[in-house]
Structure 1
């Protein structure tokens, strides 16, 4: 009986430690997903904004919106023509046109829709600018890490990647907020983005 009484609290202690470990792993996994989503969404937004098709047909800068706010016509078009795609970015311009960045079988693709939600055309260079190659923190240029440590002293680098143009997208965490910093190929700072929040922004699969 004494062994049983001793064994029960010991088992409870082990169970508690196991559950605590699982919770920590869940938190870590969630943070990793958040950082990955933030970097992917920012690269998609950047690629959509500077694409030649967007520059020619859209008015002003794109305003990011949650994918759930897209017109039904666009969501229907995507589910019909790209049933396995996920939405990485959705935005609208000053004239009401929509630009949507999707990922199909791992490949980014950008689409332009008019204000009524009718498909207009594909973006020309979106694919190579939205697709990122992961970069380890240790492999980032010194100019970038120095900039971050100087201007975001309390921040932690969570995720980093670069596109075919050599543009870097780096997710940092500071005060429970994830921000994405964009640097050009030479390591010069370009802009800071706070990713759009919301379940719909991750897209449909």
Structure 2
């Protein structure tokens, strides 16, 4: 009987330990994805072509709100691509950042009527992000974060092909909802100097609540 009870408690303990690990891993994956989406948004909004052709600030939109002509174009020309960012300017033009099936990135601009306009020039380098362990961040970056965001902790980080760093930080105390709401994105130049603070981007969700992979 004692052996049976011991086995039961042991199995229950393993079950909860496994669940906790899965929850931690899922949370970390979400934070890593936020860093990647932040890089994609920054790459799309700061690309030289975006600045030349778009009018005013880009307002993020969901994949579900993209005109049918745009989704059809993506389906036809970039089957299997994942939408990482979509935004509309004041003139109705739409910028879309894609992660292609082969892992590369592509940025596109569409006219207000949904017809293709032009590909972004520097988007691939700015959107491609390599995960960086928090412990491996340059001291200039961790020092800035500790000094200017003392009640925050760095949760995830990455670096794009141009050398810029992106960090997700959140409050160290509060309820789960409060901590999540406190999240910020910090962007640093390649030399470790602070560039800007933004809010985490919203997921360009499709009709099913998931970021769509076109052509599947």
Normalised by the length of structure 2, the TM-score is 0.85
> Corresponding residue for 1:176?
180
The structure 1 residue matched to 2:95, chosen from 92, 99, 115, is: 99
Gaps of 5+ in 2: 172-178
In 2: Cα distance, 1:150 partner to 1:43 partner: 24
In 2: Cα distance, 1:45 partner to 1:96 partner: 18
> Corresponding residue for 1:56?
52
How much is the aligned-residue C-alpha RMSD, in angstroms? 1.8
In 2: Cα distance, 1:33 partner to 1:7 partner: 39
2:26 matches 1:30: yes
> Corresponding residue for 1:46?
42
Normalised by the length of structure 1, the TM-score is 0.89
CA contact (8 A) 1:89 1:102 kept: yes
> Corresponding residue for 1:197?
202
CA contact (8 A) 2:141 2:192 kept: yes
Gaps of 5+ in 1: none
Instruction: Name whichever of 173-182 and 56-65 sits farther off.
Output: 173-182
In 2: Cα distance, 1:171 partner to 1:82 partner: 30
Instruction: Give the secondary structure class of the aligned counterpart of 1:77.
Output: helix
Length, aligned pairs only: 201
Following superposition of structure 1 onto structure 2, how do residues 15-164 of structure 1 map, counting pairs within 5 Å? Answer: 15-104=11-100, 105-164=102-161
In 1: Cα distance, 2:110 partner to 2:39 partner: 20
In 2: Cα distance, 1:33 partner to 1:6 partner: 40
CA contact (8 A) 2:203 2:211 kept: no
In 2: Cα distance, 1:176 partner to 1:163 partner: 24
